[in-house]
Chain A
Amino acid sequence: MTGLLLRRLGRTLLGGCFALGIVPHPLAAEELRIGFVAPTTGIFAQVGKDMIDGFQMYLDEVKNDFGGAQVKFLVEDEQAKPDTAVTKAKKLILQDKVHMLVGGLLASSGYALAPVSTAEKTLYVVPVSAADDLTQRDLPKYPYLIRTGWSSSQPSHPFGQWACDQGYKKIAAIAADYAFGYEVTGGFQKAFEDCGGKIIQKIWPPIGTKDFGPYIPTFKADADATFTLMVGPMSLQFPKQLRASGYKKPILGGGTSYDEFVLPSMGDEVIGDVSALQYSAALETPKNEAFVKKYRAKYGKVPSYYSETNYTSAQMIDEVIRKNGGKFPGAEEFIKQLAAMKFDTLRGPVAFDDMRNPVQNIYIKKVEKKKMFGYDKEELWNAVIKTYPNVGQFWTYGKDTFLKQPVYSRDFPPCKFCE
């Protein structure tokens, strides 16, 4: 895939140069080398493909031209292993002399690449890795890092508030047993309990669990709803098994539980389930509609947030480079400028806080079966039922107060109301 991409890009670059008849720039068109790290083989290969496709879609739209700079898009396979990510990143920086690193899928990859960016003084744009502390307690270690995606607990805070507003008093939580699960759940628990709710149970099935049989019968009967965070194949099996066990109460999910990456494979049993994320493919804006239609026509699937966040990151990089007349202004200046700009993106308006994390809309979305965007089949979509604007990673808590508390973990917030 890499070779094909490179060859295709080479041709596109050449064609683009001639076709555009760019306004003559005093210096020759500068080349902007972007090093992209994603898993292209292994079990996360499809997610990696979505990431690359999203970024590539933007490049195709502007014909690899960022305000005069010719973009050379170099993709390397991290195989979802942190040390491979480090090796590939070093190759991109030292051998291919890229101007910036983009990507990394898992939290561990994000944590592996961040120190590399510091050591090599290279810009690192993070579209996917959502580990909270990358832009919180660990940020001072990474002066060349800026996140264009989200932090794990960011959507959970308004979601917790929303849950209170719905009248839920007691909620049982079941989430994948790893850092991402802890952070998404922790954010929900904090906000939900701060507005009067109670989390009465926390269950942590190991990552990769597909048989939730052992856990479901232990659910507390007096919960008004279940909060869940599942990823990948776990997201597919959990709602199915929960409903088959006779559970009738509402299910609230973290963003990846019902994201478009898994939604097409889900059945009607998830209709009515609610989740929260900074993007939904069902967002009814002209910009998003065009994107979804184009993406689906080209890649045969509705874009997931993995595609959207990389498309948006490409857009952001483009706007900064454009502002600098097609030249790369150096890592520190780039970050300063990016963090100061406001963007109109697929997911809505995005700005940045002073910890280099996006401030954006958070959408509460509900699974509905309907026709959208002119497609003639009824399908499952994450219809947006409420928007919380300008949500930062600290919600309403204020940066300093928030940073004083420990990072969300299995034991934080503590389960005060656990029965």
Chain B
Amino acid sequence: MDTRFWLIQTFNGVSYGALLFLVGSGLSLIFGVMRIVNLAHGSYFLLGGYVALSVIWATGSWLLALPVAAMAVAVLGLVMERVFLRPLGFDPLRQVLLTVGFAFLLQQAALDIWSGNNFDISPPAALTRSVVLGGLYLPLYRVFMIAVALAIGLALWLTMEKTRLGATIRATVDDAQMARGVGIDTSFISMLIFALGAFLAALGGVIGGAFLGIYPGLDFEMLPIVFAVVIIGGMGSLGGAAIGALLVGLADNFGKALFPEVSYFTLYAPMALILAVKPTGLFGRE
């Protein structure tokens, strides 16, 4: 286990964490603002990938696929929120179950539309090379994932901290009733956040698609992992999502590399333990 091993594994863990942050940040925001546990988040991720595939097949452009897929799923998220979730009001259990019901429906629909073959998203050739740094092969695509996560994270943070919109969102997260009291249109904020969450998840799906593949079942496979990120980091906290993603990415990576025997538990055991000690997650508020 020389330094190269540790460096590469850290790099791998960070890049995986970057992808998880993309998907997890949306989920964390959705919970923070609306207290909704969106079990269809994995489906958004997968649908993002599928839509991207269709765009690539139709136009050959991977660059175009990114925004198109993300927007398309954002619209889907919007519709789901307005038509199905809003009328339920604050009822966590029913929200959970409704989103699960949708997850099943979306899975079947995806199967019918795109077939069940295993697909791979091919990024532009420039990104498939590896950069050699000090004898270490760093796949450029992983670097790309880290870059995107940083960019998005920065954009989100700036919006939250420096803009009025961000302030209204933070107010709604902290105390929705008070926010309404001072005239903030919380239902608009909710809608916006849900769409944003779906957008980010789908973006994660397109980017992750080149890394994980696109196939039926990926939605439910991603779900527990993304939830681990958000739970560990704490619901509703963007910074928490970032830390959580980093921790999960590193723990999973190092866990599998050093203790491959317990590969199945490197994700869940720490999650269960952290929750047992601090049920609202590391940075969560309740």
Contact = CB atoms under 8 A, between A and B. Distances in A.
- Does A associate with B in a complex? yes
Interface string A231-264: 0110111001100111000000000000001101
Interface stretch (B5-13, B171-179, B187-195): B5-13
A246 B4 CA distance: 14
Interface in A264-323: 264-267, 301
Contacts of B264: 206
Nearest to B219: A43
Interface string A190-222: 000000000000011110111101110110000
A237 B213 contact: yes
A218 B263 CA distance: 15
Interface in B95-114: 108, 111
User: Which of B111, B218, B256 counts the most chain A CB atoms within 10 A?
Assistant: B256
A46 to B, nearest CB: 3
Contacts of A209: 263
A211 B16 contact: yes
Contact of B111 (A41, A214, A233): A41
Interface string B241-264: 000000000001111110010011
Contact of A44 (B8, B116, B130, B252): B116
A217 B217 contact: no
Nearest to A410: B261
Given A206-B263, A244-B139, A244-B141, A211 B132 contact: no
A218 to B, nearest CB: 6
Contacts of A245: 130, 137, 139
B257 A214 contact: yes
Contacts of B257: 214-215, 217-218
A211 B215 CA distance: 15
Contact of B120 (A177, A206, A211, A265): A265
Contacts of A46: 111, 115-118, 216
Interface residues of B, number: 41
B63 interface: no
Contacts of A44: 116
How many A residues are at the interface, by size bracket? Answer: 35 or more
Given A43-B217, A217-B5, A261-B118, A237 B212 contact: yes
B111 A45 contact: yes
A126 interface: no
Interface in B227-286: 252-257, 260, 263-264
Contact of A246 (B132, B256, B260): B132
A47 B116 contact: yes
A42 interface: yes
A233 B8 contact: no
B148 to A, nearest CB: 17
Contacts of A301: 117
A111 to B, nearest CB: 22
B216 A45 contact: yes
B117 A265 contact: yes
Nearest to A210: B212
A203 B255 CA distance: 14
Contact of B211 (A41, A49, A211): A211
B221 interface: yes
Interface of A: 41-47, 49, 177, 203-206, 208-211, 213-215, 217-218, 232-233, 235-237, 240-241, 244-246, 261-262, 264-267, 301
Given A49-B116, A217-B8, A245-B137, 9 more contacts: A206-B264, A209-B263, A210-B213, A214-B252, A217-B4, A233-B213, A235-B118, A236-B118, A236-B120
